[in-house]
Amino acid sequence: MAPSLPRGFEWGFATAAYQIEGGFDQEGRGPSIWDTFTHLEPSRTKGANGDIACDHFHRYEEDLDLLKKYGANAYRFSISWSRIIPLGGRDDPINEKGIAFYNKLIDGLLDRGITPWVTLYHWDLPQALHDRYGGWLNVHESQKDFERYARICYERFGDRVKNWITFNEPWIMAIFGYATGGNAPGRSSTSDQATEGDSTTEPWIVGHAQILSHARAVVAYNKDFRPHQKGKIGISLNGDFYEPWDSQDPRDAEAAERRMQFHIGWFANPIFLKKDYPECMRAQLGQRLPAFTEADFKLLNEADTDFYGMNYYTSQFARHRDEPPSDTDYVGNVDELHSNKQGQSVGEESGIHWLRSCPGMFRKHLTRIYRLYGKPIYITENGCPCPGEEKMTREQSVNDAYRQRYFQDHLDAVGKSITEDGSVISGYFAWSLMDNLEWSDGYGPRFGVTFTDYKTLARTPKQSALLLNNFITSRQ
């Protein structure tokens, strides 16, 4: 018998503003760090940018109709900070045309019976704030500006939006933006392409700024908006599940746990447990890891976060290293591998090098996170590109058997974690509604349940788009 999902289980699809909207300089929107990053020469995004992207800014009605057609009861999207406040700051002007766009989007969802889930920050910091004071590198200033931005969103949209996510994947923002330099703003002291940055310190400062900014946004919501708006607020954290490369070696078991602490505990310990950073991080990073002040802990204790948003794609094996870590190590001094000591693969390969299908480990991951942090879990991203899909025609891509199997297997894992392990899992958002700009990978990988023709921008549903409705409703 297939594992069941709870009645009232929320499900739908997820997107991010910069990846789909386009309209980058229209109706008052200001530039973000991703606008700047995608226009660097030589290109660091395979020549791609989000100037037009999927043109969702003009085609949103068509995209909302797709959600309705697919049977989704919820939709997770992000707001472009620089479309709301073009210069980003707490004393800078609000762009009413940007407000109007998201009002139309929210109302369009509600008219179709679809619940809006809003992410406040999906990596697109207003460029003006980066220029003004270093953006997330300035812990003090960035908190204040993010809180004001969040308050504007609560004020203007909170009468209809009851589900808020403060940050999407702060780990990615901190590490890829400020350690490896592969993402905006592209700061790194280890990348030949970067001209600025310090990979030994900056990612940890940025992570600290995002944690405290999250806390301020949560406290603001709980104090001034929750009593009458009656919504909920959380954060979406990414993180793979790790098992020991050698199951008989306790050093590899320790390495697997340490890797997950560097990936997830970094953010989840302060936010959900109201504790300092994991001890293994303190031990390795020392003074490079910022300290929480007494006032910071007071803020964290007041920031009652309702749910754990989980972005999950794959799992890996962790092998310990005997040599000491470098000052630029950010994984906890481990090797990350797709096969274990016996040569067994962690899972079936997908259409992108880092992603394997590992539903059994997904179940373990869900159960571990629920038992550690004790909050209801919403899976805010989960998905994959099919093997070879990057080179497929529309007709080939639409017949996405691998993706259908991936969704089924991972939703089965969700059901088992609920029914057999006792986890509280309340929703699932497939990534993504449509093929889109996959950040530094450009328009190559296709994660969408809708095929996007990037020449005509025509949308074509893939078979997986309609499978999810049947699969989920049959298990409730």
* 229 φψ region: left (φ > 0), alpha (ψ -120 to 50), beta (else): alpha
Does the pLDDT at position 32 exceed 90?
Answer: yes
Question: DSSP labels for 360-397?
Answer: HHHHHHHHHHHHHH-S-EEEEE---PPTTGGG--HHHH
Tell me: the pLDDT tens digits for 225-240? 999 999 999 999 999 9
Contact indicator for 185, 135 with CB cutoff of 8 Å: yes
Residue found under tokens 């997950």? 260
Residue 98 within any structural domain of the chain = yes
CA atoms of 177 and 193, how far apart (whole Å): 13
Tell me phi and psi for residue 109, to 5 degrees: -65, -50
Residue in 253, 256, 225 with CA at minimum distance from that of residue 239:
256
Domain that residue 264 falls in: 10-474
Residue 208 within any structural domain of the chain = yes
Does the pLDDT at position 211 exceed 70?
Answer: yes
User: Annotated catalytic sites, by residue?
Assistant: 169, 381
Does the pLDDT at position 184 exceed 90?
Answer: yes
Mean pLDDT, rounded, for 208-223: 99
Q: Domain with 396 in it: what CATH number?
A: 3.20.20.80
CA atoms of 467 and 450, how far apart (whole Å): 12
Residue in 280, 279, 271, 254 with CA at minimum distance from that of residue 307:
271
Residue 5 within any structural domain of the chain = no
DSSP β-bridge partners for residue 337: 317
Residue 228 within any structural domain of the chain = yes
Q: How confident is the model at residue 360 (pLDDT cuts 50, 70, 90)?
A: very high
Q: How confident is the model at residue 3 (pLDDT cuts 50, 70, 90)?
A: confident
Tokens of 341: 């000591």
Tell me: the pLDDT tens digits for 244-297? 999 999 999 999 999 999 999 999 999 999 999 999 999 999 999 999 999 999
What is the amino acid identity at position 459? R
Q: How confident is the model at residue 129 (pLDDT cuts 50, 70, 90)?
A: very high
Q: What is the pLDDT of residue 1?
A: 64
Contact indicator for 98, 28 with CB cutoff of 8 Å: yes
Residue 357 within any structural domain of the chain = yes
Residue 2 within any structural domain of the chain = no
Residue 3 within any structural domain of the chain = no
Contact indicator for 124, 185 with CB cutoff of 8 Å: no
Residue 1 within any structural domain of the chain = no
- Residue 100, classed as helix, strand or coil, is helix
Cα–Cα distances (Å) from 191 to 36, 195, 457, in that order, read: 18, 8, 34
Tokens of 253: 């078991």
Tell me: the pLDDT tens digits for 73-107? 999 999 999 999 999 999 999 999 999 999 999 99
Looking at the structure of the chain, the number of domains it has is 1
Does the pLDDT at position 2 exceed 90?
Answer: no
